[in-house]
Structures are given as C-alpha cells and as structure tokens.
C-alpha cells in the first residue's frame, strides 16, 4: 500500500486547527495545514481578541468620568477611531505572524489555499492533490445575514473593527453575546446605540437573573434597548440608514449591525463527494471522539454542534490529537465550562442556571447579592454588581455561579476551578475572602433567598 503524503491534514488554521497541527507534529506526525486567509481564524482576526481590545477602549470613557470622584482633574478626552483601528491591525498582524511561526517551528507544512475533500483520504488544494491518513476539518464559522428587505445595507460583526467612519448612530440587531458586546463597546466609545432584541431579554440561555440585571445595566449605559422588537426592513436615504421595526417605529443610523447568528464554514469543502454527513444547517455530524461518518475524517470547533467557544475548540483539538497520535483515548467533558460576555459591566458564568438546576436536581438553594462596588461610592457611577450561587439542596454542591460586574471574567475563571473540583457551599463558607474585593462576596453569602 502506498504511504500517504501526511499523517494529518488540517483544513483551517484557526485556533483549533493550529493547536491540533502543532501537537500532532510534536508527536512525530507528518502534518500539513491548509488555510487561504489570515492565520488564527475568527478568534484572532475578527472575534475574541480584537473584540476584547475594543472592549478595553470602550471602558476608558467611564474611567475618565470616574476619575473625577477620586480627585483627578482631566481635560475633556477625545477619541480617535483611526488610531484604534491602526493599533488593532498592527497587533493582529503580529499575532498572525506568531501563529505561522508556531506551525513552522513545530515542523508542520503550511499550504496557502482552500482545500477540498476528494474522498479516499485525498485532499486537493489549488490544483495539487495530496493524501493523508487523517483529515481534520476545523474551518470555523461565519456570521449570517437574515433574509430581510434591505439587509444588504447592514454589516456583520466582521466589519465592525474596520468601519471607514465611526458610527455615531449605531443600530444593533440581536440579543446574543456578540450583539450585547458590540452595543456596549460602541456606547462606551461615544456612539448613540439602539439594540433590537426579539426576545423578552438579551442573552438567551443565560441565567434569568443575569439577563434581567444586564438589561438594566445596558440601559444605564445609555443604550436604547428595544425588547420584543424586530426589524422589518432597512432603507438607505443618502448617507442615512432607516430601520423600520415591525411595530412601525423608525430608527436612523449610520451603521446597522446584524448579529443574529452564525453558520459553519462547510460550503465548498466537498463533504458530499467524500460522504461526510451534515445536518440541515451545514453542521458536520460527529461522534463523541470527533469522528465523522467517514473513517479517517474528523471535525471539531464551530463546524460541529457543541459549544462554540475558542477554549472548547482547543480542548477538542487536544483530545483528538491525544487519541490519534498520543495513545490516549478519552471524551471531552462539556459540563462546567466557564464563559464571559465583555459588556460594561461584564458577565461571567459557570455551571447551571437556576432553571437548569431546578430541572435537573429538583430542590436547590439560591444565594444572591446585589450591591454597589466600592469604587463607585466615590465615582458616583450608578453601576451595580450582581453575584449568584445555585446550590444542590441534597448534596450542598455548588451547581452554578454567576456574576455581572467589573472583571467578572477574571473572577469567575478562578471559581470555575472550584466548581470543576466539586466544591460545596460549605467549602465556599470555609474560604476566607480577600478584603476589600467584589470577589469575596462569593464566599460570604450565608442566607439563601426565598
């Protein structure tokens, strides 16, 4: 039998694809990676990294205002959109180079081009055919535009980082974390923001207390939050975009952001020709070990229907590579995955929502605290913090931990370790807090709410 050209051929050089390629190469595998665009995928180029950088930028306006309460006398600050874009582009370019060096230093072959499956372990890139014992599809996803009259006048989140002009009036359509983050970012940068949410509250799937609390805080941030609302059409009149809602209301905007969903990048991969099963939304069907319906072809990350977070995709990549080349077979545990939403204030959460905990465990105890952070006793800002614990009444185990407040992501990451280790409420109670911090509230809540 003719030996394959590679032991692993990775389609897509996003975070997961690069991690899989590097780790497989370290195990001695012959690895190739095909990527037609910038290395790093969505997260590095138009997702997590630039979004967090812009979230930092959006927070400075509040910091400048808060400083006055602490004795700082500042001139009126002026924001320059072009400077932010230029500095972001330089940093992303630096990260692109790091990802390329990581691949090449590991011994992987980087092929610039769009790959297509040919079947039988064969892959074609730019007219060149090669074979591999294993093929990994890690092509990520893309934002989708809803079928809406005039929808072509709107943009997706990919375009928000490099808009030619700063949008002084921004309409954001959507209630998910991407919509909430961009609404919060641009409100912080000085835009007049209207957010249109189809449901009763933003962040569907999060704890209901978190959703309601964040909605109030977004409104305190001067975001015009339109709940139970939907756009009917978008029209352009000169340089002005007019968004008509189904209730007849009309909004004027410089930019309209559609943040209403994402789909996997599976078109044009030759999945049907290779016999790889997909569902109706183009999601690749895999088993618990990330094997597709075709032996030797694997998929992970945003092209499969699991948890669409970069750290999850990285963990999936490590799990697959360990099985294929490291002699260790295990399944990835998707329980207790922490996540954050980088709004102002931020959201951090790990474990079950209160509704999920009641559905799965029956009797639960809920501990909830809402307060003004120490910083704002002098800043005068009308911003509050929410912390919540959901505890199994039978075992005393903490099932869920939720926060809305400054540095929520940083705080919840540490507590996620405790929940993963099975910490009980008694463990929390026995832990001495760091004073004065907001985080200590999680270990000082003693009385459950009614």
Residues 249 and 160 in one domain: yes
Proportion of the chain above pLDDT 90, given as a percent: 97
* Tokens describing residue 395: 């075992």
The predicted pLDDT at position 2 comes to: 66
Long-range contacts of 443-450 (CB under 8 A, 24+ apart): 445/367, 445/368, 445/369, 445/387, 445/389, 446/367, 447/367, 448/365, 448/366, 448/367, 448/391, 449/366, 449/367, 449/368
**Taking all residues of the chain, what is their mean pLDDT, rounded to a whole number?**
97
450 within domain boundaries:
no
Mean pLDDT value across residues 113-142:
95
Segment 312-340, tens digit of pLDDT: 999 999 999 999 999 999 999 999 999 99
Residues 418 and 276 in one domain: no
Burial (CB count within 10 angstroms: exposed 0-12, middle 13-18, buried 19+), residue 198? middle
One of 27, 168, 305, 435 is an active-site residue; which one?
A: 435
Which residues are CB-neighbours of 86 under 8 A, at least 6 positions away? none
310 within domain boundaries:
yes
Segment 34-70, tens digit of pLDDT: 999 999 999 999 999 999 999 999 999 999 999 999 9
449 within domain boundaries:
no
CB 339 within 8 Å of CB 309: yes
Of 340, 334, 316, the residue nearest 407 (C-alpha):
340
Q: E strands, 217-308, where?
A: 224-227, 231-237, 240-245, 250-253, 255-258, 262-264, 297-299
Q: What is the CATH number of the domain that holds 269?
A: 3.50.50.60
330 within domain boundaries:
no
Residues 350 and 284 in one domain: no
333 within domain boundaries:
no
Judge whether residue 435 has pLDDT over 60: yes
Separation between Cα atoms, residue 250 and residue 101, nearest integer Å: 50
Segment 358-405, tens digit of pLDDT: 999 999 999 999 999 999 999 999 999 999 999 999 999 999 999 999
13 within domain boundaries:
yes
Residues 310 and 360 in one domain: no
The predicted pLDDT at position 120 comes to: 87
332 within domain boundaries:
no
Q: What angle do CA 53, 146, 153 make, to 5 degrees?
A: 70
Which residue, 260, 283, 307, sits at the end of a domain? 260
Residues 197 and 168 in one domain: yes
The predicted pLDDT at position 1 comes to: 47
Which residues are CB-neighbours of 447 under 8 A, at least 6 positions away? 367
Residues 109 and 24 in one domain: yes
Pairing of strands 297-299, 128-137: parallel
- The domain total for the chain is 3
The predicted pLDDT at position 280 comes to: 85
* Tokens describing residue 201: 């509250």
Residues 133 and 268 in one domain: yes
Q: How confident is the model at residue 450 (pLDDT cuts 50, 70, 90)?
A: confident
Which residue, 234, 260, 286, sits at the end of a domain? 260
Which residue, 260, 283, 304, sits at the end of a domain? 260
Rounded to the nearest angstrom, the gap between the alpha carbon of residue 75 and the centroid of all alpha carbons in its chain is 36
59 within domain boundaries:
yes
The predicted pLDDT at position 202 comes to: 98
Residues 195 and 296 in one domain: no
The predicted pLDDT at position 45 comes to: 97
Q: How many CB atoms lie within 10 A of CB 297?
A: 26
Residues 247 and 371 in one domain: no
Of 138, 131, 139, the residue nearest 7 (C-alpha):
131
Separation between Cα atoms, residue 52 and residue 342, nearest integer Å: 7
Half-sphere exposure of 98 (CA within 13 A, CB side): 11
Judge whether residue 420 has pLDDT over 50: yes
Residues 113 and 21 in one domain: yes
Q: Is 435 labeled as catalytic in the residue annotation? A: yes
CB 28 within 8 Å of CB 325: yes
CB 57 within 8 Å of CB 85: no
Q: How confident is the model at residue 102 (pLDDT cuts 50, 70, 90)?
A: very high
Separation between Cα atoms, residue 29 and residue 437, nearest integer Å: 48
Q: What is the CATH number of the domain that holds 410?
A: 3.30.390.30
Which residues are CB-neighbours of 358 under 8 A, at least 6 positions away? 364
Segment 173-216, tens digit of pLDDT: 999 999 999 999 999 999 999 999 999 999 999 999 999 999 99
Residues 377 and 232 in one domain: no
Residues 73 and 10 in one domain: yes
The predicted pLDDT at position 404 comes to: 98
Question: Domain containing 403: what range?
Answer: 339-443
CB 387 within 8 Å of CB 441: yes
Separation between Cα atoms, residue 368 and residue 366, nearest integer Å: 6
């Amino acid at each position: 039998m003719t030996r394959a050209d590679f032991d692993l051929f990775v389609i897509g050089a996003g975070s997961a694809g690069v991690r899989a390629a590097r780790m497989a190469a370290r195990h001695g595998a012959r690895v190739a990676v095909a990527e037609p665009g910038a290395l790093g995928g969505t997260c590095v180029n138009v997702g997590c990294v630039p979004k967090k950088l812009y979230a930092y930028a959006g927070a400075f306006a509040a910091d400048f205002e808060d400083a006055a309460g602490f004795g700082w006398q500042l001139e009126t600050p002026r924001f320059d959109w072009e400077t932010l874009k230029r500095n972001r582009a330089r940093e992303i370019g630096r990260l692109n180079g790091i990802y390329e060096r990581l691949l090449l230093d590991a011994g992987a072959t980087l092929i610039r081009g769009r790959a297509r499956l040919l079947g039988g372990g064969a892959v074609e890139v730019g007219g060149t055919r090669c074979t591999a014992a294993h093929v990994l599809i890690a092509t990520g996803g893309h934002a989708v535009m809803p079928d809406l009259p005039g929808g072509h006048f709107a943009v997706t989140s990919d375009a928000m980082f490099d808009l030619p002009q700063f949008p002084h009036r921004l309409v954001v359509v959507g209630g998910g974390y991407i919509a909430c983050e961009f609404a919060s970012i641009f409100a912080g940068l000085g835009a007049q923001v209207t957010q249109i949410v189809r449901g009763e509250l933003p962040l569907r799937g999060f704890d209901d207390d978190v959703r309601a609390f964040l909605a109030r805080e977004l409104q305190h941030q001067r975001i015009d939050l339109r709940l139970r609302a939907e756009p009917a059409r978008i029209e352009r009149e000169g340089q002005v975009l007019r968004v008509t809602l189904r209730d007849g209301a009309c909004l004027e905007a410089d930019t309209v952001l559609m943040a209403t969903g994402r789909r996997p990048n599976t078109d044009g991969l030759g999945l049907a020709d290779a016999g790889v099963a997909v569902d109706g939304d183009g999601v690749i069907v895999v088993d618990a070990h990330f094997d597709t319906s075709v032996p030797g072809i694997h998929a992970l990350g945003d092209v499969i229907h699991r948890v669409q977070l970069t750290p999850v995709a990285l963990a999936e990549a490590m799990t697959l590579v360990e099985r294929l080349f490291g002699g260790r077979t295990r399944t990835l545990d998707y329980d207790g995955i922490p996540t954050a939403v980088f709004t102002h204030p931020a959201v951090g959460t790990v474990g079950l929502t209160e509704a999920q905990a009641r559905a799965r465990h029956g009797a639960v105890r809920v501990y909830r605290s809402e307060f003004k952070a120490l910083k704002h006793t002098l800043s005068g800002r009308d911003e509050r913090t929410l912390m919540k614990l959901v505890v199994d009444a039978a075992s005393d185990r903490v099932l869920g931990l939720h926060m809305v407040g400054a540095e929520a992501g940083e705080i919840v990451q540490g507590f996620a370790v405790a929940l993963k280790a099975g910490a009980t409420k008694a463990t929390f109670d026995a832990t001495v807090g760091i004073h004065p911090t907001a985080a200590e509230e999680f270990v000082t809540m003693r009385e459950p709410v009614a």
